[in-house]
Structure 1
Amino acid sequence: MRRFLRDNALSLGFLLIFVVALAAQSVVGLAYENEELAQHGRPPIGWTEFVTSSAFVVDVAENWQSEFLQFFLFILATVWLVQRGSPESKKPGSEGVGSDEEQLVGAHSRPDSPRWARAGGLRGALYANSLLIVMGAIFVLSWLAQSLAGLVVANEENAEHGMPSLAWSDYLVSPDFWNRTLQNWQSEFLAVGAMVAFTIYLRQRGSAESKPVGTPHHTSAVESE
């Protein structure tokens, strides 16, 4: 167990932080929701009712979809685009998907390579793009959940003000939906761009996301090995 925890500390650590943050969001969100209900003379709701409500789902989903869109685009972009000196990028001249020999696939695979990497054909192609496929799928599902939950919230607010309900297609082109969406997208793109640029010139000793401290600015971590 100790070895398992050590070998998986990074993923387990972030999983724990995620669970704690999500639980805290649900507690604080419930308190805020009940304050809003009290101001309108309505009775408070319980935690279970809140975390299964559209109001909670839309807040969670709109953040998830922007995060996974960020990873989807960054994974795709780093296949073809490079940034000299950044450890977040391949070195200039290595753009593209690489040869089968470089990627250890098909006839060039090792005995301990993943089975689908050795298979070739459709299975090999799917596995070669599996990270992008999964990130894209989670983004689409989160975006869909955000749009459906947001529609419910918007129609509840419309009903309170005596306004007609919106269809899903109408909500998708509404300012409310795109305000929720774009305010998350722009922050994610800024964070990724800043990480790429800052890691050219700044260092964090011991971090896998940083070049060795003494590596020249114009050299990537790959080139310095």
Structure 2
Amino acid sequence: MSEPSTPTGRFLNDNGLSLALMALFVLTLAGQAATGWWAYDAARVAARLAGVGFAAYLGTGNFLDGLFSNWQAAVLQLAVLISLGAVLRQKGATHSRQPGDDDDPGRGDHGWVYAHSLALAFAALFAVTFAGHLVCGAMKYNEDQALQHLPPVDLGTYAASPAFWFSAFQCWEAEFAVIGIYVVFSIFLRQEASPESKPVDASDEQTGGANE
């Protein structure tokens, strides 16, 4: 396939993957916001409370908690894969260094922070999204309390509650399971032309070395 001749064409060709993912993000975020608003308004009307407009709904715990809980789980997934992939091995998997390969390639002219910047960035993102999940989860919890005409709770009480940790653990366990399934599947299964897969004719014993 020939390279596009226009600057716009080259930009789209060079950034197609990130643009497609961002477009999917915007579409699904819009779907979450719209359907969440309809369900939230219906619940308020059923509880004999006034409905809220769409813009107001975007500032509710109901919307923001769903956003942050999913984000912190997804960020945790990548943070764990990046960090554990640097120290643990899985023979035959795509995202693993070769078993027994403990050589440190060195940092060259780069310092420790840059050498670990990807894991540090995801750790920081996880801290931010976890805090957002906690704060917005408390907002959502108190909104649910209001629907039942019950008193609100403070942030500390919510942080120590089973409700918060149930929400966190159910997100995390799914992410860990999916990472594990992907690592194992990448040993035996292939996807032609995908950098997330070993070559189609590679043996199951061959470790991908994608992180090297």
Would the TM-score normalized by the shorter structure come out above 0.5? Answer: yes
Greater relative CO (CA pairs within 8 A, separation 6+): 2
Structure 1 residue runs of 4 or more that deviate by more than 6 Å after TM superposition: none
Aligned mates of 2:115, 2:138 — CA distance in 1: 37
| 1:165 Cα deviation after fit | 3.5
CA offsets, 1:59-79, max 9 Å, x none?
100010011111111111011
* Corresponding residue number in structure 1 for 2:71: 64
Aligned mates of 1:137, 1:126 — CA distance in 2: 13
Identity of aligned residues (%): 31
Query: In 2, are the aligned partners of 1:79 and 1:95 still within 8 Å (CA)?
Result: no
Are residue 181 (structure 1) and residue 168 (structure 2) matched? yes
Query: In 1, are the aligned partners of 2:95 and 2:209 still within 8 Å (CA)?
Result: no
Are residue 206 (structure 1) and residue 193 (structure 2) matched? yes
Q: Which letter maps to 2:29? A: L
TM-aligned CA distance change 1:95 to 1:11, over 3 Å: farther
Query: In 2, are the aligned partners of 1:62 and 1:143 still within 8 Å (CA)?
Result: yes
Q: Which moved more, 1:158-167 or 1:29-38?
A: 158-167
Are residue 33 (structure 1) and residue 40 (structure 2) matched? yes
| 1:222 Cα deviation after fit | 3.7
Paired residues for 1:1-225 under 5 Å: 1-95=8-102, 98-100=104-106, 103=107, 105-106=108-109, 117=110, 124-161=111-148, 163-222=150-209
| 1:193 Cα deviation after fit | 0.3
Query: In 1, are the aligned partners of 2:92 and 2:205 still within 8 Å (CA)?
Result: yes
Q: Which runs of 5+ in 1 are unaligned?
A: 107-116, 118-123
TM-aligned CA distance change 1:165 to 1:33, over 3 Å: closer
| 1:189 Cα deviation after fit | 0.5
Q: Which moved more, 1:135-144 or 1:159-168?
A: 159-168
TM-aligned CA distance change 1:69 to 1:151, over 3 Å: same
| 1:178 Cα deviation after fit | 1.0
For these two proteins, the number of residue pairs brought into alignment is 203
Query: In 2, are the aligned partners of 1:158 and 1:164 still within 8 Å (CA)?
Result: yes
Helix, strand or coil at the partner of 1:219: coil
Q: Please, what TM-score do these two structures have when normalized by structure 2?
A: 0.89
Q: Which runs of 5+ in 2 are unaligned?
A: 1-7
Query: In 2, are the aligned partners of 1:81 and 1:95 still within 8 Å (CA)?
Result: no
Q: Which has the higher helix share?
A: 1
CA offsets, 1:152-208, max 9 Å, x none?
222333355454432322211211101111111111111100000001001111111
CA offsets, 1:25-78, max 9 Å, x none?
101111111111221223321111111111111110001001111111111101
